[in-house]
C-alpha cells in the first residue's frame, strides 16, 4: 500500500458536519452583514434588500459549500463615505484622555473572552479551520488589548528633554494619532489580524476602515460589534468589502496609514501606492519558512512541533513551516515518525475540538495546493504521505502531505504553497543547513530544534528571518506581544507587536520651547566672537556630558 493511500485510509472520517453551530443564526448573519456600509446592494436571509441593486459576494460555509450570506460589495463612493464617517468619529475619539479610551478595551477584553466560543463558531463557519485553531485565534485580540492597556500610557506619554541650550530650551516629543488607518486583513486569521491590528490603531487615537477578505468577513464584523458593546463610539471602526483590486486603491488613497497582511505580490502594489501618497505602510508578507533539526534534538518533540508547524490551520499560517532540514544521522528516524503522525491525523469537518486538522479555505485554494504537489511529483519529488484532495470530507479538504526530493525548480521548492505540504531535506553540516535555510527571498519565520540551547540559539542568530523560534515553531515568537513580529527581505516591512506595534500608528510632534532669546549673535556682537563662543560651548558641553 502506498504512503498516500495509507494516509487516505487511516485518516479518521465521519459524516460531514452539515449542521452549522446553533449560535450562527440567520438573525446574527443579517445583523453582521447590515454593518457593511453599501449603496451597491445586498440581500438579507429573509430576502429583503440592503439597497436597491448592486453586486454581492456569496459567502459560504466552507465545510458544506452552503451560501450563508450575500455580502455587499462596496463601491468607491461607499469607501469614501466610510472614511468621512470614521474621521468625524475620530475627531472626538482622539480628544478622549488615554485613560478613558483604555477603559473601553478593559471592558472589551472581558466581552471577547466571554464570547470566545461564539467567535470560534463564526471563524470555523467562514474559514473551515479546525476548532482547536479557531479558539486559539479568538485569544489574540484579548492578548493584544492586555499588553497595550499596560504599556500604552508609557508609549504615548509626551517625552520632554532639554533643548540645544541647557536650562533655557526644551523639546518635547508628542505622539499624535495619524487619523484614519486602513487595515487590509487576510482570510487565514480574519479575526486575529482584522481586530488585533485595529485595536492598537484605536488605542493610539485613530479611526479604522477595515477591508476583510470576502471569504471571511463575518468574524471581524462580530468583533466590531463586541467593541461597540464595550463602548467604542459608533462609526469609528468602519468595514468595507470587496475584491482587493476593486477596493484597495480607494482605501489607500483615503487612508493616513495602511496595515496589510497578505502576499508579497499584493504587498508590493500596496507599498507602491502608499509611497505615492506619502503615507506609511506596515506589510507582513509571504514566507517559505524553514525548520532546522540539530543532531542533538529530541526527535519526538521535533516531530510534534513539525506536526503543528506544517499542518496547523491546514498549513495556512503565514509563519508555518514548508521546509525541514534534517541531519543525515537523524533523517530516517524523523521521517518515519513524522509520516506516521501525518497519516494518523484526525482530519474532518466538525464543530467540536476533536479534529486535528480542518479544511482549506476554498476549492480554489485546494486546487493551488494540488498544483504545487503535482508539479513537484512531475519533476521527480516523492510523496511520503498524503498528496490528494479529500472530497469525501468536504469541498476543500486536502490530505496532510509530506514530500522528499523537492528542488528549487519546483513550485513547492521555491514559492509559498500555503497548505498542508512540507518538504524534507538532508544536510551534512550545520553551516550547510543554515545556508539552505537562508537560500530564499523570504524571511518571515524560522525554527531551530536542539537540546543544547546555547548552540541552538547560535544557529538561530545566523538565520535571516524576522522571527526565529528555538524548540518551538511560531507561537512563542508571535504570542510575545512585547517584542516586534515582522518579516525581512521579501517577507515585509515593519512589524506588529512590541513598542512599534503601537507607535507606528502615531506621528511625532516636536514641541520646542525657547525661554530666553539666546539663540544667535546678540545685537552688535562681533560675529567672529559669537562663533568662537559657540564652538567653545560645544566643547564644554561635550566635556561635561551635558550634550
Q: How many CA within 13 A on the CB side of residue 49? A: 9
* CA-to-CA separations, 67 to 14, 36, 342, in angstroms, rounded: 23, 18, 32
Find all residues with CB under 8 Å of 367, minimum gap 6, and list them: none
- Is 282 considered catalytic here? no
Find all residues with CB under 8 Å of 173, minimum gap 6, and list them: 158, 159, 160, 161, 508, 509, 510, 511
Cβ neighbours around 391 below 10 Å, total: 11
- Is 241 considered catalytic here? no
The sign of the CA dihedral 483, 194, 278, 441 is: positive
* Catalytic member of 70, 284, 399, 404: 284
> How far, in Å, CA of 283 to CA of 259, rounded?
6
Which DSSP symbol is given to 94?
T
Helical packing angle, 131-156 and 190-203, nearest 10°: 10
Pick from 105, 203, 260: which is nearest to 503 by CA? 203
* Catalytic member of 61, 241, 318, 399: 318
The 10 Å CB-count burial string (b at 16+, else e) for 174-202 is: ebebbbbbbbbbbbbbbbbbbbbbbbbbb
Mapped onto helix, strand or coil, the DSSP state of residue 507 is strand
Pick from 111, 133, 201, 149: which is nearest to 350 by CA? 133
Residues catalogued as catalytic: 284, 318
Amino acid at each position: 500500500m502506498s504512503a498516500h493511500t495509507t494516509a487516505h485510509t487511516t485518516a479518521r472520517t465521519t459524516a460531514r458536519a452539515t449542521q452549522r453551530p446553533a449560535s450562527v443564526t440567520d438573525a446574527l448573519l443579517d445583523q453582521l452583514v447590515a454593518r457593511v456600509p453599501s449603496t451597491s446592494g445586498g440581500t438579507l436571509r429573509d430576502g429583503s434588500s440592503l439597497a436597491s441593486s448592486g453586486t454581492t459576494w456569496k459567502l459560504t460555509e466552507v465545510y458544506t459549500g452552503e451560501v450563508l450570506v450575500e455580502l455587499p460589495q462596496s463601491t468607491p463612493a461607499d469607501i469614501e463615505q466610510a472614511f468621512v464617517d470614521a474621521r468625524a468619529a475620530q475627531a472626538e475619539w482622539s480628544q478622549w484622555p488615554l485613560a478613558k479610551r483604555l477603559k473601553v478595551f478593559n471592558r472589551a477584553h472581558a466581552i471577547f473572552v466571554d464570547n470566545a466560543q461564539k467567535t470560534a463558531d463564526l471563524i470555523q463557519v467562514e474559514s473551515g479551520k479546525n476548532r482547536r485553531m479557531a479558539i486559539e485565534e479568538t485569544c489574540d485580540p484579548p492578548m493584544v488589548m492586555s499588553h497595550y492597556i499596560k504599556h500604552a500610557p508609557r508609549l504615548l506619554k509626551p517625552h520632554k528633554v532639554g533643548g540645544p541650550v541647557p536650562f533655557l530650551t526644551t523639546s518635547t516629543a508628542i505622539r499624535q494619532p495619524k487619523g484614519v488607518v486602513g487595515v487590509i486583513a487576510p482570510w487565514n486569521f480574519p479575526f486575529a489580524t482584522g481586530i488585533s491590528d485595529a485595536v492598537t490603531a484605536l488605542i493610539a487615537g485613530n479611526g479604522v476602515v477595515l477591508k476583510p477578505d470576502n471569504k471571511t468577513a463575518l468574524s471581524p464584523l462580530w468583533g466590531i460589534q463586541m467593541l461597540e458593546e464595550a463602548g467604542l463610539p459608533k462609526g469609528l471602526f468602519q468595514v468595507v468589502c470587496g475584491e482587493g483590486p476593486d477596493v484597495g486603491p480607494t482605501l489607500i488613497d483615503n487612508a493616513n496609514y495602511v496595515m496589510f497582511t497578505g502576499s508579497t505580490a499584493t504587498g508590493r502594489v500596496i507599498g507602491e501606492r502608499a509611497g505615492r501618497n506619502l503615507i506609511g505602510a506596515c506589510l507582513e508578507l509571504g514566507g517559505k519558512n524553514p525548520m532546522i533539526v540539530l543532531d542533538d534534538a529530541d526527535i519526538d518533540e521535533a516531530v510534534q512541533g513539525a506536526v503543528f508547524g506544517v499542518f496547523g490551520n491546514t498549513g495556512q499560517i503565514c509563519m508555518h513551516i514548508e521546509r525541514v532540514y534534517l541531519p543525515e544521522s537523524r533523517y530516517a528516524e524523523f521521517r518515519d515518525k513524522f509520516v506516521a503522525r501525518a497519516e494518523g491525523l484526525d482530519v474532518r469537518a466538525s464543530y467540536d475540538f476533536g479534529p486535528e486538522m480542518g479544511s482549506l479555505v476554498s476549492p480554489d485554494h485546494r486546487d493551488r495546493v494540488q498544483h504545487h504537489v503535482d508539479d513537484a511529483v512531475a519533476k521527480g519529488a516523492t510523496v511520503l504521505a498524503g498528496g490528494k484532495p479529500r472530497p469525501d470530507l468536504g469541498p476543500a479538504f486536502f490530505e496532510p502531505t509530506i514530500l522528499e526530493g523537492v528542488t528549487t525548480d519546483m513550485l513547492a521548492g521555491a514559492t509559498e504553497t500555503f497548505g498542508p505540504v512540507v518538504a524534507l531535506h538532508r544536510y551534512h553540516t550545520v553551516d550547510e543547513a543554515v545556508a539552505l535555510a537562508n537560500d530564499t527571498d523570504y524571511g518571515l519565520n524560522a525554527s531551530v530544534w536542539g537540546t543544547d540551547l546555547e548552540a541552538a540559539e547560535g544557529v538561530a542568530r545566523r538565520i535571516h528571518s524576522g522571527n526565529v523560534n528555538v524548540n518551538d515553531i511560531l507561537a512563542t515568537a508571535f504570542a510575545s506581544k512585547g517584542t516586534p513580529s515582522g518579516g525581512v527581505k521579501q517577507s515585509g516591512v515593519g512589524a506588529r507587536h512590541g513598542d512599534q506595534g503601537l507607535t507606528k500608528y502615531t506621528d511625532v510632534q516636536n514641541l520646542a520651547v525657547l525661554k530666553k532669546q539666546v539663540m544667535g549673535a546678540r545685537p552688535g556682537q562681533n560675529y567672529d566672537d559669537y562663533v568662537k563662543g559657540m564652538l567653545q560651548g560645544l566643547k564644554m558641553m561635550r566635556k561635561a556630558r551635558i550634550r
